[in-house]
Amino acid sequence: MIFFNKYTAIFFIVSAITHQLSATPDGYTLGVMRTGEHAVTQTTAEMMLHNAQHAASPNRAPRIYRPFINQARATLPQNPDSPALAQFPTRTPESSEELIRSPQQLGVHFKGTALPELNLFPPDSMGTVGPTQFVVAVNNLIRSFNKTTGLIDGNINIHMDAFFASVSGDITSDPRIRYDRFTNRWFILCIDITRPSNNRILIAVSNTSTITPSTIWSLYAIPAGTGVFYDYPTLGIDQNALYIGGNAFSNSNTGSMFVVRKSSVTSGGPIVYTRFDNLISPQTGRGLFAPQGVDNFDANPTSGYFVGVDNATFGTLIVRRVNDPAGTPSLSPNLIITVPATAYPITVPHLGNTRGTTGKLDGLDDRLICAHIRNNQLWTTHGIGVNNVGISSNRQSITRDGCRWYALNLAPATPTIAQVGTVFDRTTTNLTTGRSYWMPSLMTSGQGHMALGCSVASSGLYANAATVGRLFADTLNTTETVVQITAATTAYNPPGDPGSIREGRRWGDYSYTSLDPCDDMTMWTIQEYCDATNSWGVFVQQLLAPPPAQPISIVPSSLARNQSSVNITVTGQQTGGAAFYDPGANFSCRLAVNIAGVTVNSATFVNGTTITANISTVGATTGAKSITVTNPDGQQRTGNNLLTIT
């Protein structure tokens, strides 16, 4: 039995402080931890009952959302150590067929929503894939689709304001959505924007992996801070926490980030979160601008991450690690990474523009659009201004926008560049007629393939959506051929958004590319495009992985009948990224092997060209047998007459 008095109380307080200090690495900063409210819970059906009062009216004036754009960024100095490089793909296509080849073949596609339904600018293009659904979550709308058919499934179709009404009651904006493969739940985040200061971050967590009318949502609200308007929230999730970055506007305008203990929001609360302020140095201006919370697909991470462009220079990224994110989070100092030169994007010309400079499409700025970790590498991307050879170092030579992407090694104390590349329109002359690629988002699969989705337009091309990617074995820093995934035939001059000299017509403000949680192979991208005259739409495109390797041999190639357990090795041939794959025991879709007339007891993935299997020949007929290998995404390859039963 322990008897408590003032001395034992002092002992425990001192012990707790000592433990906290000792658990904080040198140079790391403790944030301000707070415990908020328990969740407000509602079912999808209960939320949708109140949807009508929030529905958009065709007679209502269009709503135009405008994020904070730091115009001073346009004239930032270039990091003097940044090389003037584009890292544009330099590999020569091996055949004329490869000229139109994309690493990911196009699968199911559909339109998520469009301007006439929502009457706002821009949509904030956002959506992600789950086990059975693709859920679009844009300004004013959450809608679920059957991911197999691309049809609306009717399980959730609700105005974003109505969805969060129980914890907000205000106008919402800047939605983010994730399906979390570790908890098999959906996470939706946005901000309310009615208040000029003291606004809130809104979070919703489902209790089911497939959203239905009976799904119960736990809803939370986090105050952004006294006298603060929080804008452009970003979201990253790993096994431990939610990482929310954004721009915090106050008199000091130094930015802030939040680390939300994941177990607190999946258990009904109270929500536990830690806020980190003063991200930007008032003396040097250095620090994270529009920080991105980082998704992490790796199991059992020891640190969380934020990443962003430097507030003081072009050609610089900054990473900040979060120590002990599920306990007492602390934040690393700025980890500075010099990258090839970058520049502020331009507003984008597009075919049919009738308003000159003010009618161009918004290029936003050079903030990072998304970020995720795979195999201890951090992948991220943003739009930048470039010239005809992809160089950004000379501001006066910028004639188009390109999509810069990075893969950063996280193992060193200060992350290093593993790969960096730029997707842009290479032309022989530096005219302003070149295509712009902008609003990019990217994802990497369990196989190591990367897919990037973006918008594309020029003075000779209507506003469209495109995709490009790379195979895991492609030459470092390169991507394959850009593929346009929409075919706009009309001009975009919406009367509701006349545009402005500074930013043109609103577009974006981001996009998202996600990874299927069933097979760890298939990727999906959601992008804005011109779907009809003077209208935007959001286009959802499934991106299929390359097929399995072609089975070419089985060892042993001949087996006698009536053996209950025999081990064989299947070898395949890799071409164009084709490979065997299995995501592991935690996934619902797995590698499968079928041999005609033979029982396959088990199949084990070894690598992209090798599978081992245990089979039974009991009851098998004699003769040559074909083998079919099915990857987790359902794609198959058959090798004929590779095994003989004697």
In 3D, which of 216, 235, 568, 206 has the Cα closest to residue 372? 235
pLDDT tens, position by position, 173-213:
999 999 999 999 999 999 999 887 889 999 999 999 999 99
Residue 596 tokens, joined: 């005609």
20: pLDDT strictly greater than 70 = no
Residues 564, 539 contacting (CB under 8 angstroms): no
Residue 16 tokens, joined: 């707790």
**What Cα–Cα distance (Å) separates residue 275 from each residue in 16, 34, 290?**
20, 8, 15
As for how many domains the chain has, the answer is 3
**What Cα–Cα distance (Å) separates residue 30 from each residue in 24, 25, 35, 284, 611?**
8, 10, 16, 22, 48
Mean local confidence (pLDDT), 249-277? 89
Verify that 310 and 386 share a domain, yes or no: no
Domain boundary among 294, 317, 338: 338
Domain boundary among 311, 338, 365: 338
State the first-to-last Cα distance of the chain, in angstroms, to the nearest integer. 76
pLDDT tens, position by position, 242-251:
999 998 876 5
Verify that 332 and 371 share a domain, yes or no: no
Q: Flag whether 141 is in a domain.
A: no
Structural domain containing residue 385: 339-545
Verify that 210 and 236 share a domain, yes or no: yes
In 3D, which of 241, 208, 43, 190 has the Cα closest to residue 130? 208
Verify that 178 and 217 share a domain, yes or no: yes
Q: Flag whether 95 is in a domain.
A: no
In 3D, which of 119, 102, 110, 105 has the Cα closest to residue 64? 119
Verify that 568 and 623 share a domain, yes or no: yes
Verify that 363 and 255 share a domain, yes or no: no
Verify that 37 and 174 share a domain, yes or no: yes
CA–CA separation, 130 vs 178, rounded Å?
Answer: 9
pLDDT tens, position by position, 307-352:
999 999 999 999 999 999 999 999 999 999 999 999 999 999 999 9
Q: Cis link prior to 548 (omega < 30° from 0)?
A: no
94: pLDDT strictly greater than 50 = no
Cβ atoms within 10 Å of 313's Cβ, excluding its own: 20
Radius of gyration of the chain (CA): 26
CATH number of the domain encompassing residue 563: 2.60.40.10
Residues 341, 309 contacting (CB under 8 angstroms): no
SS3 sequence of 299-340? CCCCEEEEEEEECCCECEEEEEEEECCCCCCEECCCEEEECC
Beta strands in 182-240 (DSSP E): 185-192, 200-206, 216-223, 229-237
CA–CA separation, 240 vs 242, rounded Å?
Answer: 7
**Class of residue 413 by CB neighbours under 10 A (exposed 0-12, middle 13-18, buried 19+):** exposed
Verify that 281 and 323 share a domain, yes or no: yes
Residues 111, 123 contacting (CB under 8 angstroms): no
Verify that 516 and 560 share a domain, yes or no: no
Verify that 565 and 527 share a domain, yes or no: no
21: pLDDT strictly greater than 80 = no
91: pLDDT strictly greater than 60 = no
Q: Which has more confidence, 501 or 113?
A: 113
In 3D, which of 462, 463, 467, 464 has the Cα closest to residue 481? 467
| DSSP letter string, 529-565 | EEEETTEEEEEEEEEEPP---EEEEEES-EE-SS-S-
Domain boundary among 338, 361, 396: 338
Query: Which single residue is written with the structure tokens 């079912």?
Result: 43
Residue 324 tokens, joined: 């002990």
Q: How confident is the model at residue 225 (pLDDT cuts 50, 70, 90)?
A: confident
